[in-house]
């Protein structure tokens, strides 16, 4: 089946809805020829009783309160409906949730017609050898995207991504542009499979460097501009690492205020607020090691030094902050097509000045990922997150942020096919 969505308003009844026109709905007639059907998703609560066919004389059906879904299926979905107005071939619409409706007539589940969707993009640390290889083999357009990246960077980044070695891929100067290109490739392959667009996308976000990929996805800048920014950012940050003695450590199983107290006591910075009970500190190596040694005294269940090249998202990245800022000032930005949630404030940015400040500030500031996801869930009312990047790292964080959150992760051809199948039903 296929169809389209459009806004609908009935001034007489004061109802606003999303009208879904299904072009080739399976027919219940003897001929079996597909029919056009008009379905309605009603965003506001309605009483759980039939409003009658005279409401929309040309659309057989009822408008039902979401909480009445189980009652509808139990009482109206059987072979002998209790309402005599329901005849064979007629269609009952039940609003089960903000993201779906059920056609009782055929038991066909129409998912994602009205979902609010957010795209998510991975950050440094998610990289793995082989990333993107099967996508390039499966889709000529994706192979071309990798070739464009290699040509632009004047080095065989795709070969490093596909074949390794892991030690070289993990270097900041390589892994940041690699993850940017991989995220863009996953998104391009996904949109290709979805026919070029996905209705319902309202926001994007990315962890650390993933924020640049999020902006590219939202149209803030084109693929090459984003690749240039990420490549220079990576170079600036690697040089900052080489000129300082810094490291990072993960604090597991502690409240944010406790970690902040420890960070203040040992003079280190909060780098990542990834999820409740998963916070990363960053700073001079000796001071981070001191914080790790004092962690249990502060009631932190576990503190672990991370195998990283430097103190990312800390004051030790100040040289990268300054140099990236200069590059950003010379870069043109368009208004994003979707809301892009920035790491620094966990709020959307849209104006060029805001975008420049957010991308510069995040180099030395905390990644407020937990708050960013809570904003998307609670303010933007996101129903479905689609993660683009290796390993499903961001999907895993939702286990601590908000259990039960609906997330699809796309990193390769099998995960892409699984996601597309889930969305197309």
Considering only CA atoms, which of 191, 197, 159 is closest in space to residue 178? 159
**Helix H or strand E encompassing 349:** strand 348-349
Residue 324 pLDDT class (50, 70, 90 cuts) = very high
What is the rounded average pLDDT for all residues in the chain? Answer: 81
Please list, in sequence order, all residues whose beta carbon lies within 8 angstroms of the beta carbon of residue 379, skipping any fewer than 6 positions away: none
Note the residue count of the chain. 425
How large is the average pLDDT for residues 395-406? 95
- Side-chain half-sphere CA neighbours of 67 within 13 A: 5
Tokens in use for 282?
């960053």
Contact (Cβ atoms closer than 8 angstroms) between residue 324 and residue 233: yes
Q: Pick the more confident residue, 65 or 421.
A: 421
> In the chain, what are the domains?
3-111 (no CATH), 117-241+322-424 (3.40.366.10), 245-305 (3.30.70.250)
Rounded Cα gap, residues 410 and 183, in angstroms: 9
Cis previous bond, 165, omega within 30: yes
**Average pLDDT of 37-50?**
41
- Between 31 and 73, the more confident residue is 31
Task: Identify the top-confidence range among 19-23, 138-142, 191-195.
Answer: 138-142
User: Which residues make Cβ contacts (< 8 Å) with residue 94, sequence separation at least 6?
Assistant: 64, 68, 69, 72, 73, 101, 102, 104
CA-wise closest residue to 341 among 371, 386, 365, 383: 371
For the chain, the first-to-last Cα distance in angstroms comes to 10
Higher pLDDT, 99 or 24: 24
Partnered with residue 38 across adjacent β-strands are: 21
pLDDT digits over 245-257, tens only? 999 999 999 999 9
**The pLDDT of residue 235 is above 60:** yes
- 72 compared with 394, residue with greater pLDDT: 394
For residues 69 and 101, the answer to whether their CB atoms sit within 8 Å is no
Query: Higher-confidence residue: 81 or 197?
Result: 197
| Residue 3 phi, psi (nearest 5) | 180, -165
d(CA 199, CA 20): 12
Share of the chain above pLDDT 90, in %: 70
Whole-number Cα distances in Å, 189 to 218, 281, 388 = 16, 36, 11
How far is the C-alpha of 263 from the C-alpha of 266, rounded, in Å?
5
The pLDDT of residue 389 is above 60: yes
Task: Identify the weakest region by mean pLDDT among 19-28, 108-117, 189-198, 384-393.
Answer: 19-28
**Residue 137 clears pLDDT 70, i.e. is over it:** yes
Dump pLDDT digits (tens) for 62-114: 333 333 333 333 333 333 333 333 332 223 333 333 333 333 222 233 344 46
pLDDT value of position 54: 29
Please tell me the predicted confidence (pLDDT) of residue 109.
31
Strand order in the sheet with 117-121: 348-349, 339-341, 201-206, 117-121, 384-388, 407-410
How much is the pLDDT for 424?
A: 84
Sign of CA dihedral 379, 273, 301, 125: positive
Give yes or no for residue 413 having a pLDDT over 80: yes
Q: How many CB atoms lie within 10 A of CB 42?
A: 19
- pLDDT classification of 365: cutoffs 50, 70, 90: very high
Task: Pinpoint the alpha helices (H) of 129-282.
Answer: 133-138, 140-153, 157-163, 166-170, 172-193, 210-217, 223-242, 256-266
Dihedral (Cα; 251, 253, 257, 260), 10-degree rounding: -10
Q: Residue 128: which of 397, 399, 392, 395 has the closest Cα?
A: 392
Structural tokens at position 255: 């409240």
The pTM assigned to this predicted structure is 0.75
Residue 7 has pLDDT above 60, yes or no: no
- Write out the catalytic residue numbers: 208, 313
44: pLDDT strictly greater than 60: no
Query: Distance between CA 1 and CA 113 in Å, rounded?
Result: 13
- Say if residue 194's pLDDT is above 50: yes
């Amino acid at each position: 089946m296929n169809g389209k969505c459009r806004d609908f308003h009935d001034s007489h009844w004061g109802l606003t809805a999303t009208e879904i026109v299904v072009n080739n709905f399976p027919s219940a007639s003897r001929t079996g020829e597909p029919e056009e059907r008009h379905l309605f998703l009603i965003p506001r609560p309605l009483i759980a009783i039939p409003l009658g066919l005279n409401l929309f004389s040309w659309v057989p059906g009822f408008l039902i309160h979401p909480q009445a879904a189980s009652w509808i299926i139990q009482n109206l979905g059987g072979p002998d409906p209790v309402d005599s107005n329901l005849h064979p071939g007629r269609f009952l619409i039940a609003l089960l949730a903000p993201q779906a409706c059920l056609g009782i007539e055929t038991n066909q589940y129409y998912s994602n017609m009205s979902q609010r969707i957010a795209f998510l993009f991975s950050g440094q640390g998610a990289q793995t050898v082989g990333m993107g290889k099967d996508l390039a083999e499966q889709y000529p357009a994706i192979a071309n995207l990798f070739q464009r990246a290699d040509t632009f960077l004047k080095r065989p980044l795709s070969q490093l991504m596909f074949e390794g070695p892991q030690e070289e891929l993990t270097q900041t100067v390589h892994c940041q542009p690699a993850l940017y290109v991989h995220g863009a490739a996953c998104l391009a392959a996904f949109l290709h499979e979805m026919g070029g667009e996905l209705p319902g996308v309202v926001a994007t976000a990315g962890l650390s460097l993933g924020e640049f990929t999020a902006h590219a996805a939202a149209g803030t800048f084109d693929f090459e501009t984003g690749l240039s920014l990420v490549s220079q950012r990576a170079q600036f940050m690697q040089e900052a690492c080489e000129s300082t003695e810094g490291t990072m450590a993960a604090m597991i199983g502690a409240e944010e205020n406790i970690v902040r107290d420890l960070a203040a006591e040992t003079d280190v910075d909060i780098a990542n607020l990834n999820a409740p009970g998963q916070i990363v500190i960053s700073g001079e190596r000796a001071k981070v090691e001191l914080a790790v040694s004092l962690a249990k005294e502060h009631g932190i269940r576990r503190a672990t030094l991370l195998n990283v090249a430097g103190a990312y998202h800390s004051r030790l990245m100040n040289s990268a902050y300054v140099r990236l800022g200069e590059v950003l000032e010379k870069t043109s930005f368009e208004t994003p097509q979707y809301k892009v949630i920035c790491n620094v404030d966990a709020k959307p940015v849209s104006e060029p000045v805001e975008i420049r400040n957010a991308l510069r500030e995040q180099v030395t500031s905390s990644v407020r990922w937990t708050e960013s996801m809570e904003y998307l869930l609670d303010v933007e009312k996101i129903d479905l997150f689609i993660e683009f990047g290796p390993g499903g790292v961001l999907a895993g964080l939702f286990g601590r942020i908000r259990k039960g959150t609906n997330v699809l992760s796309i990193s390769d051809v099998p995960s892409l096919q699984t996601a597309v199948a889930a969305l197309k039903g």
